[in-house]
Amino acid sequence: MAGSASRDRTTAARVAKGLVDKGRADEAVAVLAAWAANGPNDVEGQNLLAEALRIDPSSRLAQLAFERMEGIAGDHAALEAAMTEWSPEALSRVERVVRPSFVRAQVGFNNNVKYKSLTFHIQTEDSGLDKPHVITHLFADGGRVIKSHKRSYADSVRREDVAAFVRQLMKAQQLEMALALREGKFDEIIEGRAMGGMQLLEHPPKVDVQRLATQKKSRVLADGASERSPLVESPPVSAEAKQVNFRLHVLRSLGGGPAVYAPTGVEAIIGSGGSVALPGERFCHQHEAAILFKNKRLWLQDFEAGNGVFLRIRAPVELEPGDEFIVGDQLLRVERNPIPQDGPDPGPTYFYSSPKWLSSFRVVQIFEGGALGACVLAHGTTLQIGSSVGDFVFPSDALVSEQHCLIEEQAATILLTDLGSRTGVFVRIKGEQELIDNDELMIGRTRLAVELTS
């Protein structure tokens, strides 16, 4: 019974919010006051009463609800009438009217994807709370649907965060289709050797996207999960403080130094002021970063100094504008395109310029010393980098593969994907990132491989 009352109070709070959004504040106060008094005088009921008083501090119904909750005798006829009016059945009936504003469906995602020299289109749509499901279509040949994914979210329509939940579901389902296409899962359908059609899915979207600590004060586990608490506490003194817990194998160095770094203890500073000195590496700060071994996990902690430490990606990675990455010996940064400032003048003569195509972002080259080099805009939502094939080409860099990596915008997310390059793609870490065995780091022109020994 207590569980039922708690559910009804949760519904009452949701209904009251919907009533306020529709300009029906008096009814919202009546709902809150009625259900604050309808049940135990606990934190849940007190929160309902507090919300009623926030909406209308002079509400008579809220005052009567307070008296009822505190056991003060008096004439509570008006409150009892409100409690009768706002029964669980009435709440359920009104909730259908004051549902979130996207009951008619949220705006979906539409993106083009290049695959095997062909252009495909992916479209994800929401059908709204009355028909709660998300559908993603994969188009080929300029309009032929070759594959569709459909998921129901009927079990989630009563969530408090249903709008955000559905938005995230749409985004994940859009990315799932794009990644499945690039992984070759629809090749048989594209080549006409298999049927496509609609597929009803019950499991959550499977999106193999790697998340990294590319933002300051972020902390990301190796599996992509975020942790809130920073690594500020000192490591405990134990056997781990006297042994070699990890090694860093030097894969590439232009300045000499040891082939392997094997610091003892639970902390190693990268830079000339620490145990991983990297002699001759002129792009490394005296205190560039720290590697910490704590609770059987290995962490890379950026010191926000110098040129930073870059981690080789293992799967497509989400980027934000301003994130930096390394391809071969090229330092690059992804940016949003500036707003055009070349509109027509007030006079009769109009400004003349080259035609502009749709572009979601741009990639800028950064030279030694911080000067900016070449800048290439994405064609639509994609930009490919390579030594001979792509939009941004580096023919003189021997470390850049013919087709090295791809950057694309899918479902309002910028993804960086390694296209099987020989030397990999490295993304700058600005927070705290968990490291695992065989991870590779880039500091300046020095490349290191991580080996866990504990």
- Residues 202-225 pLDDT 10s: 999 988 888 898 888 888 888 777
Average pLDDT over all residues of the chain? 88
Mean pLDDT of 150-154: 93
Res. 377: pLDDT tops 90: yes
Whether the per-residue pLDDT at 385 is higher than 50: the answer is yes
Contact 146, 138 (CB under 8 A): yes
More confident position, 6 or 133: 133
Higher pLDDT, residue 128 or 72: 72
In this prediction, residue 229 carries a pLDDT of 52
pLDDT at position 312, please? 97
- In degrees, rounded to 5, the angle at the alpha carbon of residue 405 between the alpha carbons of residues 334 and 184 is 125
pLDDT band for position 157 (cuts 50, 70, 90):
confident
Q: Which of 30-44, 107-121, 420-434 has the lowest mean pLDDT?
A: 107-121
pLDDT of residue 343: 67
User: Would you say residue 96 has pLDDT above 90?
Assistant: no
Is the pLDDT confidence value at 369 over 70?
yes
Of 146, 128, 175, 201, nearest to 411 by C-alpha is 175
CA 447 vs CA 66, 151, 278, 295, 309: distances in Å: 67, 44, 10, 26, 10
CA gap 450, 292 in Å, rounded:
13
pTM reported for the whole predicted model: 0.70
Closest C-alpha among 139, 218, 229, 228 to residue 186: 139
328 in the Ramachandran plot: left (φ > 0), alpha (ψ -120 to 50) or beta?
Answer: left
For residue 297, what are its two tokens?
Answer: 């996990």
Fold assignment, 314-423: Tumour Suppressor Smad4 (2.60.200)
Q: What percent of the chain has pLDDT over 70?
A: 92
Would you say the CATH fold of 314-423 matches that of 219-307+446-452? Answer: yes
- Residues 227-262 pLDDT 10s: 655 554 544 555 566 789 999 999 999 888 899 999
Domain regions of the chain by residue span: 2-98, 102-200, 219-307+446-452, 314-423
Mean pLDDT of the 196-201 span: 92
* Section 421-443 average pLDDT: 96
pLDDT at 102: 53
Per-residue pLDDT at 1: 45
Residue 409 pLDDT > 70, yes or no?
yes
**Does 3 have pLDDT greater than 70?**
no
Q: Return d(Cα 386, Cα 391) in angstroms, integer.
A: 8
Question: Are 92 and 13 a contacting pair, CB within 8 Å?
Answer: no
| pLDDT of residue 429 exceeding 90 | yes
pLDDT at 346 over 80: no
| Predicted confidence (pLDDT) per residue in 136-151, tens digit | 999 997 678 999 999 9
Segment among 86-90, 168-172, 233-237, 414-418 with least mean pLDDT: 233-237
The amino acid occupying position 175 is: L
Banded model confidence at residue 94, pLDDT cuts 50, 70, 90: confident
Segment among 73-87, 97-111, 112-126 with least mean pLDDT: 97-111
Among 30-39, 113-122, 267-276, the minimum mean pLDDT is found in 113-122
Of all residues in the chain, the percent with pLDDT exceeding 90 is 57
- Report in angstroms the alpha-carbon separations of 259 from 64, 269, 444: 78, 17, 17
Residue 93 binned pLDDT confidence (cut-offs 50, 70, 90): confident
- Considering the segment(s) 219-307+446-452 as one domain, its CATH architecture is Sandwich (2.60)
Q: What is the pLDDT of residue 232?
A: 47
